[in-house]
């Protein structure tokens, strides 16, 4: 506490000192402290709001001058400029974003009175007002609504903006809105500013779509991981993927180059057997084949011989067919069946 602030506090009457001390206790008890506007909230509704906050936040209403004393004593001078009009102090251990979201969710629609400033554009919606024909149609027209008598009642023919945000509500408009049951404003604790860990947050800073923000973070993380993998940049998160990718590429290279490695032999034998079966299935004269290959059908996913010109079939296409056959021919995991076929031909 500065010497000047201490001097100001000492000059206060005893009851005001006690009030400042209680406000100081609230400030010191919570990680986040903010200023909330309470103008226009009826006393009973304010008590209900205070009760609803119990367990997550604490609200205390006091004289503005005493709130200023407590804030200055606590070194929270950045909040002082927001102590204007009917306000209170709120403290919470939640982060400012959670506090803002909770306060916004607690707001409820309410009628607007004569002399109040419209918080947003006030619109009388298109449709049947439910009011019988009479002078009310003239009242609607006088405030700017496109209304007429139709089908035995007063109808609003189109959405009609009767007051723009920032303009003052007239007595006539307040009466019309009340008659129609339109509640154009929200009543609740209006967070003006909050300080957490020495940082001041305004409502504009806190008004974010949490789900969209989380989605953006997840997308950025996925793209960063993809970039790391494609650039072969090892990190704790990408090392397992890089090792798996390198292993797969090494195995693919070994199969394409027919490298006789112990780990590749089952796949090489299966691949060779599939290629052999695919070739045997394309020979029309079965008598020209060894007995073991007579009646052999093409692998399930191989293209029929008459669907393509044999002379134009590339080596890559043949290998692709063999790979597909390897997937389908899973009767023997180690390729033993293929081994028997090769043994009969070349044994």
| CA 223 vs CA 217, 218, 219, 233, 317: distances in Å | 10, 9, 6, 13, 33
Question: Among 229, 131, 221, which Cα is nearest to 180's?
Answer: 131
Beta bridge partners of residue 92, listed in sequence order: 32, 57
H-type alpha helices, 185-294: 203-206, 210-230, 239-256, 265-281
pLDDT category of residue 325 using cuts at 50, 70 and 90: very low
pLDDT category of residue 312 using cuts at 50, 70 and 90: very low
The number of angstroms, rounded, from the C-alpha of 161 to the middle of its chain's C-alpha atoms is: 33
Q: Which of 64-68, 259-263, 280-284 has the lowest average pLDDT?
A: 280-284
pLDDT beyond 70 at 347: no
Residue 39's pLDDT is what? 86
Q: Is the dihedral of CA 218, 223, 226, 227 positive or negative?
A: negative
pLDDT tens across 226-256, in order?
999 999 899 998 999 999 999 889 888 988 8
pLDDT tens across 18-75, in order?
999 999 999 999 999 999 999 888 888 888 888 889 889 999 999 999 999 999 999 9
Residue 187's pLDDT is what? 86
The number of angstroms, rounded, from the C-alpha of 288 to the middle of its chain's C-alpha atoms is: 67
Q: Which of 139-148, 152-161, 196-205, 299-308 has the lowest average pLDDT?
A: 299-308
The number of angstroms, rounded, from the C-alpha of 197 to the middle of its chain's C-alpha atoms is: 25
Asked if residues 37 and 192 have their Cβ atoms less than 8 Å apart, the reply is yes
For the chain, which domains are there? 14-107+188-205 (3.30.70.1730), 116-174 (3.90.105.20), 212-288 (no CATH)
Instruction: Tell me the helices (H) and strands (E) count for the chain, helix number first.
Output: 13, 12
pLDDT tens across 173-212, in order?
999 999 999 999 888 899 999 999 999 999 999 998 878 8
Six token digits for residue 330: 């899973």
pTM: 0.53
pLDDT beyond 60 at 294: yes
Average pLDDT over the chain, rounded to whole? 82
């Amino acid at each position: 506490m500065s010497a000047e602030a201490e001097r100001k506090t000492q000059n206060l009457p005893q009851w005001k000192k006690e009030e400042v001390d209680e406000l100081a206790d609230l400030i010191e008890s919570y990680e986040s402290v903010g200023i909330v506007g309470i103008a226009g909230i009826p006393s009973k509704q304010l008590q209900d709001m205070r009760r609803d906050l119990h367990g997550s936040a604490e609200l205390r209403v006091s004289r503005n001058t005493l709130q200023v004393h407590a804030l200055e004593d606590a070194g929270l001078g950045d909040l002082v400029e927001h102590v204007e009009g009917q306000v209170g102090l709120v403290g919470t251990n939640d982060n400012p974003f959670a506090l803002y979201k909770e306060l916004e969710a607690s707001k409820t629609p309410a009628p607007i009175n004569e002399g109040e400033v419209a918080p947003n554009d006030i619109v009388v919606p298109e449709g049947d007002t439910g009011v019988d024909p009479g002078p009310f149609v003239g009242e609607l027209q006088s405030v700017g609504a496109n209304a007429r008598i139709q089908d035995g009642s007063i109808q609003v023919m189109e959405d009609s903006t009767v007051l723009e945000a920032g303009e003052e509500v007239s007595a006539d408009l307040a009466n019309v809105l009340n008659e129609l049951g339109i509640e154009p404003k929200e009543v609740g604790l209006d967070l003006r500013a909050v300080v957490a860990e020495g940082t001041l947050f305004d409502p504009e800073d806190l008004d974010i779509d949490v789900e969209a923000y989380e989605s953006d973070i997840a997308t950025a993380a996925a793209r960063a991981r993809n970039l790391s993998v494609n650039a072969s940049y090892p990190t704790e998160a990408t090392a397992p993927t890089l090792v798996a990718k390198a292993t797969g590429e090494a195995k693919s290279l070994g199969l394409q180059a027919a490298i006789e490695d112990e780990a590749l032999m089952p796949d090489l034998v299966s691949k060779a057997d599939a290629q052999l079966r695919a070739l045997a299935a394309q020979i029309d004269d079965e008598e020209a084949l060894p007995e073991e290959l007579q009646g052999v059908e093409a692998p399930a996913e191989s293209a029929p011989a008459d669907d393509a010109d044999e002379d134009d079939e590339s080596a890559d296409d043949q290998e692709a067919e063999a790979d597909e056959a390897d997937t389908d021919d899973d009767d023997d995991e180690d390729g033993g069946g293929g081994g028997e076929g090769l043994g009969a031909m070349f044994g």
